[in-house]
Amino acid sequence: MNPLEIIAKYYPMESEAYRILVNHSKSVAEKALAIARMHPEMSLDLAFIEEAAMLHDIGIFRCDAPEIDCHGDAPYICHGYLGAELMRAEGYPRHARVCERHTGCGITLAMIEAQNLPLPHRDFTPETMEEQLICFADKFYSKTKLDKEKPIEKVRKSLVKYGEETVERFDNWCKLFLGE
């Protein structure tokens, strides 16, 4: 599977959205792979991590986010499950799970209900080690400041608004993946 070929099915290659998506996704993939290589004891699937990290945000074009050249109808928070729909249609259900579970540090059904989020009513938290690792790596890169890695403390502060559970999950990943 070539993630760039799949992305090119949905994004014109000359578009700003394509450039942003590919650059952001490469940064996430590189960080996730670097962490995975530090942990051979976890027996992580490196090929899958690279593919899924490249495709985790494929649904952004279906959302209304003009600052990153995305002009869809859905709120941005929906990009994960919308990307998962695309990945399932492409025949990649395992990659779809990464798409739908990477937003924030995962979104629980309780969070969806409490905040009345425009998401299907089910749990969207990463479960496998690969899902968790890609979600974690994604927190260090934005789509508006490409190639600029955020320090851990800045990531942590950005997550506070999503509640203690989100910060706790991130802190646990810092210990698991970085020993911090």
> Tens of pLDDT along 52-88?
999 999 999 999 999 999 999 999 999 999 999 999 9
The sign of the dihedral angle between the CA atoms of 115, 120, 126, 130 is: negative
Q: Which domains does the chain have, with CATH numbers?
A: 3-178 (1.10.3210)
> What predicted TM-score, i.e. pTM, was given to this entire model?
0.95
**pLDDT on residue 28:** 98
Structure tokens at 122: 């089910």
Q: Quote the CA–CA distance of 98 and 88 in Å, as a whole number.
A: 11
pLDDT at 147 > cutoff 80 = no
Condensed to tens digits (0 to 9), the pLDDT of residues 16-37 reads 999 999 999 999 999 999 999 9
pLDDT at 109 > cutoff 90 = yes
Q: Considering only CA atoms, which of 94, 90, 68 is closest in space to residue 79?
A: 68
